[in-house]
Structure 1
């Protein structure tokens, strides 16, 4: 198990290093002077030179990269020229919205999808199976921003149960903040639940066709016991893969939903930084998101080993 985990950690570190090179290089291949791009074409030469000095753009390429990499390792992501605050502070502030939103969405998605996938697989070919997968297909096809607008119309405008947008702030209480996240969480969760339910069903059906499942049934085990104690555990590896991918998407890919609900999360921060040409913020947020995705993938790999010990016993 230790060897398996060490290999996965090493792969993660190499991935992070490669990602840092790519993210840094993207800033370098932007046409024109990055300082002038950030300040706008009407900026004075003195302002451009001052920003070049402040951001280190006048230093050699390798020097800038290693200074930036060293700053990342010590928690210094640079300073936003738009907000005049450290980028890491901006990320922490926005993460307080994006992380609970992603976790709430993932929990809702999992609670819905796993039982539906198991239920459909246990009744393969029946009318309930067809209906469940038909609804899941509709959930996959519907864009989440359109579904978000439907939720706003129903729960915020018609029923007046939940806020249509904005974020109350954790300093104003737990429940007001959670209420602000319910509709965006549902808008994100239901399409993801549709995908996860289909994967759960497909994976479970594959496992139920294995020889050892037929042997267990031939020994007299009930269908329910075979399903939950033998088949489900072995069917979880593809499910864990999708869960890891979905959490990464929910954390990093919510720009549209955050703009629909006017939530001050990471996605909205990236959108604002791009429109304001604050490249240092874009650079810092992207590398942070890459690190989070790598960590999530590492946790998923370790989850594989827990579900199926054969993976680390062969390493």
Structure 2
């Protein structure tokens, strides 16, 4: 297990280095100069040059990359061009919205998908299976921002159970914060739950058709016992993959939902920074999200090895 973990950790480190180079190059080749954008089209050249020097934009791209990546390794993400505040503090403030939202949505997605997928697989071809598959097809087809707008219309405007947007802050209490994140989390979770339920059903059906399942049934186990004792654990490998990918998506891809509900999260920070040509913020947030994605995949790989010992034997 240790050898397997070390190999995956080395792969993680290489992926991070490659990702940092790609992110830096892609953002740096974007047209426009941050200093010129901040000062306007009528700014004097010497004023633009002074601001470029103050922002550290007057050195070579290679030196800027080295300064950026070594600073991130020390926990220093630089200073925002537009807000003149440490990027680390800006990310930390927004992370306390995006991270709980991602975990909340992932928890809801898993709680919905697992029972639905198992129920559908255990009643293959029946009315329950058909109903679950129809619901998941609808969930996959409808975008999450539509769910967000409908939930605001029903639960915020008509029923007035929740607020239509904004985040009061965790200092107002855990219940108040979770209540503010409930509608965004549901809007994010429903499409992901539909995908996860379909994968859960498909994986379970594949396992139920394997020889070892027929052997277990021949030894006297009921269909229910076979499903829970043998099929479910072996069916978890593709499901773990989807859960890992979903967490990465929920953390990094909630820009539209955060805009709909006016949540001060990482997605909205990236959107605002792109609009302001605040490149250092965009680079740092995207790199942090890539790190989160790769780290989640690393954890999923370790979970694979825990669920299926054959993976450890191959290393």
Residues 162, 180 of structure 1: 8 Å contact kept: yes
Tell me which residue corresponds to 2:311.
311
Could you give the per-residue CA deviations for residues 79-111 of structure 1, whole angstroms, max 9, x where no partner exists? 112211111111100000000000000000000
Partner of 2:181: helix, strand, or coil? Answer: helix
Question: Which secondary structure does the structure 2 equivalent of 1:235 belong to?
Answer: helix
- Structure 1 partner of 2:96: 96
2:143 is aligned with 1:149 = no
Tell me by how many angstroms 1:45 deviates.
Answer: 2.0
- The 2-side partners of 1:42 and 1:11 are apart by 49
Residues 244 and 296 in structure 2, CA contact (< 8 A), matched pair in contact too = yes
Alpha-carbon distance change, 225 to 64 in structure 1, aligned in 2, over 3 angstroms: same
Q: Is the 8 A contact 1:38 1:279 kept in 2?
A: no
Unmatched 5+ residue regions in structure 2?
A: none
Residue 43 of structure 1: how far off its partner (Å): 3.2
TM-score, with structure 2 as normaliser: 0.97
Once residues 262 and 89 of structure 2 are traced to their aligned partners in structure 1, the CA distance between those partners, rounded to angstroms, is 20
Q: Distance in 2 between matches of 1:43 and 1:202?
A: 61
| Alignment partner, residue 127 of structure 1 | 127
Per the TM alignment, residue 172 of structure 1 is displaced from its structure 2 partner at its CA by 1.4
Q: Kindly state the Cα deviation for residue 157 of structure 1 after the two structures are TM-superposed.
A: 1.1
Aligned twin of 1:271: 271
Worse overlay, 161-170 or 21-30:
21-30
For residue 44 of structure 1, report the CA deviation from its aligned partner. Answer: 3.0
**Is 1:235 the counterpart of 2:235 in the alignment?**
yes
- Deviation by residue 1:115-170 (Cα, 9 ceiling, x = unmatched): 10000000100011011100110011111111111111111111111111100101
* Match of residue 246 from structure 1: 246
Determine the structure 2 residue equivalent to 1:64: 64
**Corresponding residue of 1:210:** 210
3-state SS of paired residue (1:167): coil
Cα distance in 1, alignment partners of residues 303 and 38 from structure 2: 43
TM-score, normalised by the number of residues in structure 1: 0.97
Cα distance in structure 1, aligned partners of 2:225 and 2:38: 62
Please give the alpha-carbon distance, in whole angstroms, between the structure 1 residues aligned to 2:30 and 2:153.
41
Aligned residue runs from structure 1 range 174-185, under 5 A: 174-185=174-185
Q: Determine if contact 1:27/1:34 at 8 Å carries over to the other structure.
A: no
Aligned pair 1:19/2:24, yes or no?
no
Q: Secondary structure, in 3 states, of the residue corresponding to 2:84?
A: coil
Shift of 1:34: 4.5
Report how many residues are paired. Answer: 315
2-structure distance, mates of 1:212, 1:38: 66
Moved more, 9-18 or 62-71: 62-71
